[in-house]
Amino acid sequence: MPDAINLPSTRFVIRVSVSIGITVLSGAAVGIWTSQDVDGWYATLQRPFFAPPNAVFGPVWTVLYVLMGLAAGRIWVLAPSVQARSRSMWLYATQLVLNLAWSVIFFKLHALGWALAEMALLLILIAACARAFHRISPLSGWLMAPYFAWVCFALALNAAFAQLNT
């Protein structure tokens, strides 16, 4: 007889789906809220030579939010204790709030320097979250790596925008 296929439990599927949904919808909501500023104020800024076209950001962030939500959903299910789950999910929620706040600071408040400082703090929290996730599930920790890498790139981009436009 062939080995049985291990399908994920209903609880796993629901929690991962909820986590992905919350993450993607939060990002989409902030994206919609700041879209007028992207088409208006942001379009007037001097762009660094390495700034990708605006059309790149939506698909990249969607993929990153799905990966982040998947990582968090796995932790929600796989954490060995309430304490480990609470600590990890607190770090996740905090970094997600900072992630969303960056868009408001940059696009709504037009505060490029503050956005840069906030993003530096965000990177520290992403690293702490990924580390906490990795202790519970190495895969979940690694699922945060593309997000960390993209935010490193975004930090350089934010710094270049600040230098060119202040």
* CATH for 153: 1.20.1260.100
Regarding predicted confidence, which is higher, 1 or 138? 138
Stretch 108-130: mean pLDDT, rounded? 98
Percent of the chain with pLDDT over 70: 96
Lowest mean pLDDT among 6-15, 59-68, 79-88, 130-139: 6-15
> What pLDDT sits at residue 2?
54
**CA nearest neighbour of 27 among 98, 86, 83, 75:** 98
Asked whether residue 1 is assigned to any structural domain, the reply reads no
> What pLDDT sits at residue 5?
61
> What pLDDT sits at residue 24?
97
Asked whether residue 27 is assigned to any structural domain, the reply reads yes
Q: How many domains does the chain have?
A: 1
Stretch 155-161: mean pLDDT, rounded? 98
Percent of the chain with pLDDT over 90: 92
Asked whether residue 40 is assigned to any structural domain, the reply reads yes
> Which of helix, strand or coil describes residue 53?
coil
Asked whether residue 66 is assigned to any structural domain, the reply reads yes
pLDDT tens digits for 105-116? Answer: 999 999 999 999
Please report, for residues 16, 51, 102, 148, the alpha-carbon distance to residue 120 in angstroms, rounded to integers and kept in the order given.
Answer: 28, 19, 10, 11
Count of alpha carbons within 13 Å of 160, Cβ hemisphere only? 13
Asked whether residue 2 is assigned to any structural domain, the reply reads no
Asked whether residue 4 is assigned to any structural domain, the reply reads no
Asked whether residue 3 is assigned to any structural domain, the reply reads no
Range of the domain at 103: 10-165
Length of the chain: 166
Stretch 119-141: mean pLDDT, rounded? 98
Asked whether residue 80 is assigned to any structural domain, the reply reads yes
Distance between CA 65 and CA 57 in Å, rounded?
A: 12
